[in-house]
């Protein structure tokens, strides 16, 4: 299943007002100009897409309350309406089934986060700069998109900003051009990407390479890794992220080859509640850098999301445990591998914690209000640990590597995963998944062989 999977039918059950399953996007081309002092964003988005098996009378894009200057369909002006976060394009003649089309939208305004039960999502103005953290539905805060995780597309992003600022996003930096007092940064992300996983960070940053290439030693070159951070944090950062290259090598051993061309870390010049993963990039706050490796588990968590969530993505948000359960378990695996507490010890701690909390969460379908509950992360990690205990390491790790390989750059469901794992088991796993994923009551602590 290396080919890109088409969008799943029907709206996302948790966010039915976001996204349009009647078409799929192949490519976004975004040209942006951002002025930090006035928080002013001007943009042109060119969206190359294809209709589904049915004729399409209108095209719906998700976009916050920007001023629209122009909308073109296949190069020609077209009627449209823009209200309540939806840009609806109405061609004079409906689009045929399986027809390619291109929409161009020129827009401007002051970007602000989208309101949600979890606070503001998307474009966030910082004290000096900006960042984007869109999970799950913040992408329309800064560009028009088909805002559903299953509709993955390639991206080109050019952003112009005052020259003292560095613009960073996931993907390969193609060009950096300075004219007068502004610099344009051009990035390309060819791997299929969910709209919420596209990010931008703007700040007064220093670039720090984290990997060195030495082709003379006969070993494969490491995945290129670069960090962008305020220069004053460099001493603490150097200590905190010293083991990220080793972490990448270990995760490639247990999860399979890194699925993208590079990996970028940004330390925004602001305190953040939690780090944020995006495609090929993770953003941390200044409060996550202390020179004592206090937050190394979060470095592991965000890096693991590149496999689980970014490359192997969700068909819809109901299946979010597939992202967070594996990222949580990656924390425990790295601890075990790097000389810290074993995964079994972490599992015991998590189990004790969950046993003291309400038992009203079903990880396979937590509901919109509980999809980011801390219990889902811990219970998800315990589910992965229970599976490891049931399969044994000789089957568990090949199962993981095959999962990330078979579904690379695609979208999956919980059923896809449970079906996949059964091929590596000597006995049915139905009871295990039923207990850990579908029932709210916490099952007994799973134990690895030799652990008591």
What does the angle CA 165 – CA 111 – CA 140 come to, to the nearest 5 degrees? 115
Question: Phi-psi category of 258—alpha, beta or left, where left has phi over 0 and alpha has psi -120 to 50?
Answer: beta
Residue 226, CA distances (Å) to 18, 28, 171, 187, 241 in order:
33, 24, 11, 14, 11
386, 401 in Cβ contact below 8 A?
no
Q: CA 317 to CA 371: how far, in whole Å?
A: 8
Q: What's residue 390's pLDDT?
A: 97
For residues 243 and 203, the answer to whether their CB atoms sit within 8 Å is: no
Q: Give the chain's largest Cα–Cα span.
A: 70
pLDDT of amino acid 7: 43
pTM above 0.85, yes or no: yes
Q: Residues 23-198: name the CATH superfamily.
A: tricorn interacting facor f3 domain (2.60.40.1730)
Q: In which residue are the tokens 């095959």 written?
A: 402
Predicted local confidence at residue 211, as pLDDT? 84
Among residues 104, 277, 302, 378, the one annotated as catalytic is 302
Query: In Å, what is the CA distance from 209 to each residue of 161, 224, 298, 423?
Result: 23, 8, 20, 41
Active-site residue, 377 included? yes
Q: Which helix (H) or strand (E) holds 42?
A: strand 40-51
Q: Which residues of the chain have pLDDT under 70?
A: 1-9, 212-220, 449-452
Catalytic pick from 23, 143, 187, 377?
377
23-198 and 225-438: same fold? no
Per-residue pLDDT at 4: 41
How many CB atoms lie under 10 A from the CB of residue 221? 11
Task: Decide: helix, strand or coil at residue 342.
Answer: coil
Q: How far apart are CA 78 and CA 92, in angstroms?
A: 8
| pLDDT in the model for residue 8 | 53
The predicted structure's pLDDT at residue 10: 77
Query: Tens digit of pLDDT for each residue in 334-392?
Result: 999 999 999 999 999 999 999 999 999 999 999 999 999 999 999 999 999 999 999 99
Q: What is the CATH number of domain 225-438?
A: 1.10.390.10
301 is in an annotated binding site: yes
Domain ranges of the chain: 23-198, 225-438
Known catalytic residue at 302:
yes
């Amino acid at each position: 299943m290396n080919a890109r999977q088409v969008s799943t039918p029907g709206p996302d059950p948790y966010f039915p007002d976001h996204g349009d399953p009647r078409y799929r996007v192949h490519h976004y081309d975004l040209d942006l100009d951002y002025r930090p002092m006035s928080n002013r964003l001007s943009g042109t988005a060119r969206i190359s897409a294809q209709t589904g098996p049915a004729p399409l009378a209108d095209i719906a894009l998700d976009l916050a309350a920007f001023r629209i200057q122009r909308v073109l369909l296949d190069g020609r002006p077209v009627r449209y309406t823009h209200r309540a976060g939806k840009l609806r394009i109405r061609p004079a003649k409906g689009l045929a089934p399986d027809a390619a089309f291109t929409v161009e939208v020129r827009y401007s305004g002051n970007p602000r986060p989208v309101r949600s039960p979890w606070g503001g999502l998307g474009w966030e103005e910082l004290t000096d700069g900006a960042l984007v953290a869109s999970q799950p539905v913040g992408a329309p805060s800064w560009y028009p998109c088909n805002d559903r995780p299953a509709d993955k597309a390639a991206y080109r992003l050019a952003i112009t900003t005052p020259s003292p600022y560095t613009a960073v996003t996931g993907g390969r930096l193609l060009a950096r051009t300075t004219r007068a007092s502004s610099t344009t940064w051009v990035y390309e992300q060819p791997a299929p990407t969910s709209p919420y996983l596209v990010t931008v960070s703007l700040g007064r940053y220093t670039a720090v390479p984290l990997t060195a290439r030495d082709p003379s030693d006969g070993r494969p070159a490491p995945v290129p890794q670069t960090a962008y951070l305020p220069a004053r944090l460099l001493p603490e950062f150097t200590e905190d992220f010293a083991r990220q290259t080793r972490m990448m090598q270990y995760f490639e051993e247990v999860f399979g080859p890194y699925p993208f061309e590079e990996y970028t870390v940004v330390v925004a010049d602001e305190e953040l509640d939690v780090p944020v993963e995006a495609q090929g990039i993770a953003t941390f706050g200044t409060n996550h850098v202390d020179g004592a490796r206090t937050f190394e588990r979060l470095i592991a968590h965000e890096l693991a999301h590149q496999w689980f969530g970014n490359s192997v993505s969700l068909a819809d948000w109901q299946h979010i445990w597939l992202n967070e359960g594996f990222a949580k378990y990656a924390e425990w695996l790295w601890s075990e591998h790097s000389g810290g507490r074993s995964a079994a010890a972490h599992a015991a701690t998590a189990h004790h914690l969950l046993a003291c909390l309400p038992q009203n969460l079903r990880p396979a379908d937590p509901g919109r209000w509980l999809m980011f509950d801390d219990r889902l992360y811990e219970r998800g990690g315990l589910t992965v640990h229970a599976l490891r205990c049931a399969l044994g390491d000789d089957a568990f790790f090949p199962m993981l590597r095959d999962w990330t390989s078979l579904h690379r750059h695609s979208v999956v469901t919980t059923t896809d995963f449970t079906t996949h794992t059964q091929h590596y088991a000597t006995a049915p796993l139905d009871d295990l998944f039923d207990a850990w994923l579908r029932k709210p009551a916490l099952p007994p602590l799973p134990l690895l062989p030799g652990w008591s």
